[in-house]
Amino acid sequence: MAMAGLYRRILPSPPAIDFASSEGKQLFLESIQRGTMEGFFKLISYFQTQSEPAYCGLASLAMVLNALSIDPGRKWKGPWRWFDESMLDCCEPLEKVKATGISFGKLVCLAHCAGAKVEAFRTNQSTINDFRKYIMACSTSDNCHVISSYHRGTFKQTGTGHFSPIGGYHAGKDMALILDVARFKYPPHWVPLKLLWEAMNTVDEASGRPRGFMLISRLHRAPALLYTLSCKHESWVSIAKFLVDDVPRLLKSEDVKDIRNVLSVILSSLPTHFREFIKWVAEVRTQEEDGSQSLSQEEKERLAIKEELLKQVQEISLYKHVTEFLSSEKSCCKTILGTENVENFPEIAAHVCCQGAGLLSGISGSSQQFCCQATCVKCFKVNGDKPVTVVSGTVVNGSGQQGVDVLVPSSHSELSCCGCGPSNYVGMYPASNDVLTALLLALPPETWSGIKEEKLLQEVHGLVSTENLPTLLQEEVLHLRGQLQLLKRCQDNKVEEDLGAPLF
């Protein structure tokens, strides 16, 4: 009986040369001698096969991010923080990528959202000589890597558009090594660089634009230390539009007289599900990882940075205005944001624990598949350190239950420790005022230009200016601003046309 399916393809050679062939091995050895395989060793250490036929872009990006040792800041499975295709869902729903693949512009957007430095070029924005220069630069270093978007047909291979990282370069024969992430189909192979350029210099039918290449490297520090934007919930499109398009229009149409009026115009009009859009980033772990309630030095350091960032947010003048507005009885945005105080913190804690369980289980998106049976807010001290706030919960789903601990960045106000009574919720953060302050700072500078009264306009500019912020908070705000602009470009379908547009 005939066996169903396909087991690999025969690599058309020429034009490609199988990496594991005698000729491929010789090219490899000669390239090592010339020093143009330095980037190869990191990439091959994290080489992965795409888990879905249309996941070539996601697999290529995950491979490069891990090779650059970029910390995703959230857990993948078990205790491990690790980039996996399932975590790359910032700019395009995974269901859509699984069905139709991902465009060049959306992959650039994903790389930015994941915390990498990205330079992207379509073939009509570059030359083959520039491409060769970039390939050589990344091949002689392990600090940057190239992902190429090309058409397989140019190499006489089956299929159409494809993404894969470039693993090395042979200067003598002007050949590039493609580390094909579809290893179930073709092995890694050498191709003439001129032919690779021709394969990239084809039109992607989905976007109507030429393909190209991107250079990915590390930023000088990890972004999204405490705050991040999310497009897991489908409402992100309308929320991004509201923040970038509608808020400036509202401020221009309303006759605002003071800061309270400005906040009222923005916060009282927030779309439903706004709380799904901006998240605070917490440490999550299973209780089985360490039954002693101790923290590793790494966890302590990350938590200390988050708490310092939280402190910096709470010390600026804008935070005080936001706090006063939210605490007012007339503030009609309470129903959207919640006050995150004694009355509803147990619910928030349960929601956070469910989200953590989803991350630890590798289930992306909604936490609705989990139910939190019980939560407890407690503090503990280790070796004379200051108290650390932990939200613990027992989370269940159809396959069983697990204990989850969430290490919560807390305010510098006095905490009532070690218990589960209402009085212990005082000082639990980040709360709505923290999150909203960060987001208001991250709005584009032109947001406020429609304010008619010059004195008020100058006061607002003073409150939202990033120039005088502490470095840590400034970088966090600029990263949020970049995320917001990227999401807005996605919403406007402009990520394909302005790859080089500045983020800030």
Residues with a catalytic annotation lie at 56, 162, 180
Could you tell me which of 502, 127, 79 has the C-alpha nearest to residue 290?
Answer: 79
CA-based end-to-end distance of the chain? 61
Six-digit token string for 238: 């309308």
The per-residue b/e assignment along 195-228, b for 16 or more CB within 10 angstroms, e otherwise, is bbbbbbbbebeebebbbbbbbbbeeeebbbbbbb
Under 8 Å CB-to-CB from 70, ≥6 apart: which residues? Answer: 83, 114, 115, 116, 218, 222
Could you tell me which of 488, 490, 487, 469 has the C-alpha nearest to residue 478?
Answer: 469
Q: What is the Cα–Cα distance from 427 to 330, expressed in whole angstroms?
A: 23
Task: Give the relative orientation of helices 432-442 and 297-314 as an angle to the nearest 10 degrees.
Answer: 70
DSSP string computed for 338-374: ---STTTHHHHHHHHHHHHHHHHTT--S-STT-EEEE
Six-digit token string for 393: 């919960």
Q: What is the Cα–Cα distance from 330 to 386, expressed in whole angstroms?
A: 37
E strand or H helix at 263: helix 259-267
Report how many helices (DSSP H) and strands (DSSP E) the chain contains, helices first: 17, 15
Six-digit token string for 409: 């960045």
Q: What is the Cα–Cα distance from 46 to 43, expressed in whole angstroms?
A: 5
CB atoms within 10 A of CB 255: 8
325-329: long-range contacts at Cβ-Cβ below 8 A with a sequence spacing of 24 or more? 325/260, 325/263, 325/264, 325/267, 326/267, 326/432, 326/433, 326/436
Helix (H, G, I), strand (E, B) or coil at 381: coil
Q: Distance of alpha carbon 502 from its chain centroid, rounded?
A: 17
Partnered with residue 169 across adjacent β-strands are: 176
Residue type, 403: G
DSSP string computed for 269-310: TPPTTGGGTEEE--EEEETTS-TT----HHHHHHHHHHHHHH
Q: HEC profile for 58-111? A: HHHHHHHHHHCCCCCCCCCECCECCCCHHHCCCCCCHHHHHHHCCCHHHHHHHH
